[in-house]
């Protein structure tokens, strides 16, 4: 997509005038990543949201991410370029159903992946991201039973790595379940020198093929540390922009999706709903704003703060 310099300049002007900060996820379109003040994964974005002194937070990501920023910054204006930018994983865990589920297991510590709604966070004891999930789970005494939600794939990965017998909520991300193991094997046969790296939200049979498993930031760090090698990357294809920007001479191939599409890779249509025009509009109009009920916000804040403290 071609972006005029006028639009870029206008966003920069408004950002300065309004003391705004633009936080963007790695899965955003390249032009949004390029204009953002910070590009990162869920943990990094949460940390930046917690420490910013900006009056306005423009969150170029999906709804639960902007919600988390608002939970951490109740007095600040938090805007999301497209209010319909949701998350299939967050949608897979309805609050009423999860509340009933946790009530059946009152002796369990509830750990929830950050990819969930404010209401789910408010039902949790501690939140985690893919960057710190292993550390968070390992911080809980071994004799204490754990509920892990909403991602069953990340939960199963943690079980395999730690040996903990966790009770998993049956949720998943449609993007990370869209990878085709058959196509991936064929691709690896064609490019046997390429190492497969994967996000732990992927299904177990995909993770079993991987030379490295990690969060989006972890995958970028791994490629940075092995810049002379070649990779097949099994996560949302937006990550390739930052990887290629930092390691321009490293050969990267997106892992193939089950369904045929224009890029033959896995993309999150929610992440791609945000555009530069919408980014400009939301900054200009300070809308659409993210609001969180104060009772829910206060309850959700505690498990997020516990995560941030353990992540220092």
Higher pLDDT, 312 or 131: 131
Which is it for strands 194-198 and 146-149: parallel, antiparallel or unpaired?
unpaired
pLDDT value, residue 268: 85
Percent of the chain with pLDDT over 70: 96
Confidence class of residue 1 from pLDDT cuts 50, 70 and 90? very low
pLDDT digits (tens, 9 = 90+) for 81-96: 999 999 999 999 999 9
Mean pLDDT, range 94-107, rounded to an integer: 98
Higher pLDDT, 10 or 180: 10
Average predicted confidence (pLDDT) for the chain: 93
Mean pLDDT, range 28-53, rounded to an integer: 93
pLDDT digits (tens, 9 = 90+) for 263-295: 556 788 889 999 999 999 999 999 999 999 999
Mean pLDDT, range 114-136, rounded to an integer: 96
Q: Which of 251, 312, 237 is nearest to 27 (CA)?
A: 237
pLDDT digits (tens, 9 = 90+) for 146-165: 999 999 999 999 999 999 99
Phi and psi dihedrals of 139, rounded to 5?
A: -80, -15
Q: Which of 202, 203, 204, 184 is nearest to 194 (CA)?
A: 184
pLDDT value, residue 261: 58
pLDDT value, residue 177: 77
């Amino acid at each position: 997509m071609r972006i005029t310099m006028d639009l870029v300049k206008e966003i920069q002007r408004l950002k300065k005038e309004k003391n705004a900060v633009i936080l963007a996820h790695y899965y955003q379109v390249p032009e949004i990543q390029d204009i953002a003040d910070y590009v990162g994964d869920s943990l990094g974005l949460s940390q930046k949201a917690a420490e910013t002194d900006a009056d306005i937070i423009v969150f170029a990501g999906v709804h639960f991410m902007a919600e988390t920023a608002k939970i951490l910054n109740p007095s600040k204006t938090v805007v999301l370029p497209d209010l319909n930018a949701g998350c299939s994983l967050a949608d897979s865990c309805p609050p009423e159903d999860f509340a009933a589920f946790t009530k059946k297991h009152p002796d369990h510590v509830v750990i929830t992946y950050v990819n969930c709604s404010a209401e789910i966070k408010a039902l949790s004891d501690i939140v985690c991201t893919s960057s710190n999930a292993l550390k968070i789970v390992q911080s809980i005494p071994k004799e204490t039973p754990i509920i892990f939600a909403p991602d069953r794939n990340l939960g199963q990965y943690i079980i395999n790595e730690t040996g903990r017998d966790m009770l998993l909520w049956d949720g998943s991300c449609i993007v990370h379940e869209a990878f085709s193991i058959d196509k991936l094997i064929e691709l690896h046969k064609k490019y046997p020198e390429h190492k497969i790296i994967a996000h732990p939200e992927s299904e177990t049979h995909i993770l079993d093929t991987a030379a490295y498993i990690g969060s989006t930031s972890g995958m970028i760090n791994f490629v940075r540390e092995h810049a002379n090698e070649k990779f097949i990357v099994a996560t949302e294809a937006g990550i390739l922009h930052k990887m290629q920007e930092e390691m321009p001479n490293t050969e990267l191939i997106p892992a193939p999706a089950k369904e045929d599409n224009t890029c033959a890779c896995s993309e999150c249509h929610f992440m791609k709903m945000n555009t530069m025009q919408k980014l400009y509009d939301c900054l200009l109009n300070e809308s659409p704003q993210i609001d969180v009920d104060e009772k829910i916000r206060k309850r959700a804040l505690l498990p997020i703060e516990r995560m941030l403290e353990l992540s220092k």
